[in-house]
Amino acid sequence: MAMRKLMLSFQWLLIGSIVWTLGCKPEEELLKEEAAAKAAQAEAAAKAALPPMPDQVAGVGVGVKGDSLDGIKGNDPRQLITGPAQAFFKTKEKIVFEIQLPSTLNAFKALNGRNPKSHEEYMETIKGIKLPQLPAGMIYRYHPDTDELWVEAEKKDQ
């Protein structure tokens, strides 16, 4: 009987010490974790406020298709699948930006003797061409003064 009480006491002591060790953290550690969580939230909010990419001339690599495949390089066996998939998406963008758009604009210039005068006229001219999907917060914008299609951060007042 005494042995049984001793074993129960030992079990409760063991369980109590485990619960105390796992369940109780020093106040300093809790404050550090809370500060780290707040810093992570602030960083996430700052990233959400910024556009996903800088303004740039539209070209191969601006589309979102295939972005999740980036970063798999070298001898990684996944490269056997992701390599051809990346090449496929980049080739589709290359066809749009280096073949379809220039030939459509050359036809427009031949018929009208000028470049499109506005973003709206440009988009009407190329309406049969499917432009690559852009990251959230980015839009295509034609600049008639330079005759270039740009990818820019979407402005709220437009």
Total-model pTM: 0.59
Residue 135 binned pLDDT confidence (cut-offs 50, 70, 90)? confident
76 and 147 co-located in one domain: yes
The reply to whether 96 and 153 lie within a common domain is yes
Q: 110 and 142 share a domain? A: yes
- The answer to which of 6-10, 32-36, 63-67, 141-145 has the lowest mean pLDDT is 6-10
> pLDDT for 14-24, tens place per residue?
676 666 666 55
Structure-model confidence comparison of residues 4 and 117, the more confident one: 117
Query: 89-110 burial string, b = 16+ CB within 10 Å, else e?
Result: beebbeebbeeebeebbeebee
Q: Please write the tens of the pLDDT for every residue from 28-68.
A: 776 787 888 777 777 666 655 555 677 888 888 777 776 66
Instruction: Clarify whether residues 108 and 59 are in a common domain.
Output: yes
Q: Are residues 77 and 112 in the same domain?
A: yes
Those residues whose C-beta lies under 8 Å from the C-beta of residue 115, and which sit 6 or more positions away, are: 105, 108, 109, 144, 147
Q: Are 83 and 124 members of one domain? A: yes
- For residues 78 and 64, give the distance between their C-alpha atoms in angstroms, rounded to a whole number: 20
Structure tokens at 155: 């402005």
